[in-house]
Amino acid sequence: MILHTLIDYDVLRVIWWALLGFLLLAFALTDGFDLGSGMLLPFVARTDLERRVVINTVGPVWEGNQVWLILGGGAIFAAWPPLYAVSFSGFYLAMFAILFALILRPVGFKYRSKREDPRWRASWDWALFVGGFVPSLIFGVAMGNVLLGVPFRLNDDLRIFYDGSFLGLLSPFALLCGLVSVAMLTMQGACWLVMKTRGPVAERARAYGSVAALATLVLFALGGVALSAWVDGYRITSIIDTLATSNPLRKTAELAPGAWFDNYHAHPWLMAAPAAGLAGAALALALLRLRREVGALLASSLSIAGIVVAVGVSIFPFLLPSSADPRASLTVWDASSSHMTLFIMLVSVVIFVPIIVLYTAWVYRVLWGKVDEKSVEDPHNHAY
């Protein structure tokens, strides 16, 4: 019963902050190329057979990739209950739109080939596009709203009140963040298709991927400029007990210009994260043009990792700032589950996450290689 004391409460909180970032990053890297391939489907593939090739590059792995999203949601629910309550309640319509779009993907995969009618198949192709575009955009818009602050407040009993609206989430800066997300996941999807296909599909994916990589580079840089010039950040202005039980109202916080850059000023080496976001996109662009397929996907993944980590370290220790009452902002130190709960879940993570990683690596090893028209037409392959 006292094993949880082997790791201090504040250390456990930081570990779970890092684990949440790992799960979200794993989702962005793996399911990211699924979403990107869906967005590119109507454009890189012009015949029915070419579109079947694109679908079959992600068909065997998309369900496994989406496990990371489920694990991320579960981690938020178990490790950061207030964060789960605010985000899944305040962003209800946005979450519903994401779920609706994600449901379109398996339905599209399964139903597209049920009929030979070209209009039927074209309709499902555009449904797969929606299933990729809508989550990519909304995830980015959500990140933008985290940086802006979310209009929620807490009463003395820690009851949550959300004062915002769905349309209120669509500010210019949040939409810019949404475009960064769309661009980087399109880049990831294009690099995946270049690596997994041949011929015209790969060449078109290379062209679209080059544009997406350039857009990622420009939009991410523009987002950094906007964050420094027009978006105020949040800063804790009181002493906070990192070992105390969770209660966001014990601290004070303020909205302050440039506060999101405090961590970079205190620890300049953290600039490696946004630098990786920019350098990865530039390198992906170059490697796509040089026809280095695997290298381009790795560079694209580096860019995504840099962008995601840059946001995480910028807002640390905040998890979800409150624009309605900065004091109610949720942080790593005051929005977690109990010491015991975090420890028990960490033990489970240490056991099961490596198994998931090893199994996922094995699946990708088995499925390594290109998908072509001949393999899709082979009746023994059970292709989509």
pLDDT digits (tens, 9 = 90+) for 242-299: 888 889 999 999 999 999 999 999 999 999 999 999 999 999 999 999 999 999 999 9
Element of type H or E holding 363: helix 339-366
At 161, is the pLDDT very low, low, confident or very high (cuts 50, 70, 90)?
confident
Q: How long is the chain?
A: 384
Q: In angstroms, what CA-CA distances link 151 with 176, 208, 237, 238, 305?
A: 19, 37, 20, 21, 28
3-class SS at 318? strand
Rg (CA), the chain: 22
Tens of pLDDT, residues 174-212: 999 999 999 999 999 999 999 999 889 999 999 999 999
Q: What are phi and psi of 247, to 5 degrees?
A: -165, 100
The full set of domain ranges for the chain reads 3-381
Distance CA 193, CA 37 (A): 7
